[in-house]
A and B are shown apart, each in its own frame.
Chain A
Amino acid sequence: KQEVTQIPAALSVPEGENLVLNCSFTDSAIYNLQWFRQDPGKGLTSLLLIQSSQREQTSGRLNASLDKSSGRSTLYIAASQPGDSATYLCAVQGDSSYKLIFGSGTRLLVRP
C-alpha cells in the first residue's frame, strides 16, 4: 500500500529565504507525482506535475525534483514571499489505477 510522507509538517521562514519541502513515498511504481498548494478553506492549486520518466520540473520560482528509485521528491521555493504562505501537498498517482495518494502536507509561513 502506497504511503506518502511530507517533512517538515510546518515551516516558518523570513521573507527572501530559499526553502526545500520534502516528500517521500514507499512504492516506486508511480505514474507521476504532483505538488499542490492549498490556501485555508480553499481547494487545491496544481503547482507542478512530474511524470515518472522525468527528473524535475520548473515553474517560475518553483522547482520540483523526482528520484523515483529512492522514493523522494523535493519542492524548492526560491526567494520566498509572504504570498507563498499556504499548505503544500505532495501526491503520487499509481501506475495502474490513477488514484492520487496525498501526503499530510507542509504548512508554510513566510514572515514579512
Chain B
Amino acid sequence: GAGVSQSPSNKVTEKGKDVELRCDPISGHTALYWYRQSLGQGLEFLIYFQGNSAPDKSGLPSDRFSAERTGGSVSTLTIQRTQQEDSAVYLCASSLSGGAEYEQYFGPGTRLTVT
C-alpha cells in the first residue's frame, strides 16, 4: 500500500516569507508526527497528533511554527516569517496509534532552504 507522502519535496523561500509543508499519512493511521533534521540540531521531534485529541507541541522551536491536522488525516506544518536557521529537512511519520509499541513510518521529507 501507499506509504507516507510529503509535498513539496523541495522548497526554496526567501527569508521572511511563510511556508506550508504537507503530509499525507498512511490510511488508517491515527498518530502523526513531525520531525526536523538539520546539520546543527540533528533529528528533533516537533509535534504529535493522535486522532482528534489536542496535539503535543512540546518540540516546536518557536511560535512561528504551527501545525494542524484536518479530519484526522492530512497535516500541514506552517512556518511563518522564515529564518535561515529554519533550513532543514522536515520529516513526517505516521503510526497505527500513538503508543510506544507502534512503529513509525516515515515519509521522504521536504527539504526547506531559506535564502
Q: Does B associate with A? A: no
Task: Name A residues whose Cβ lies closer than 8 Å to a Cβ of B.
Answer: none
Task: Name B residues whose Cβ lies closer than 8 Å to a Cβ of A.
Answer: none
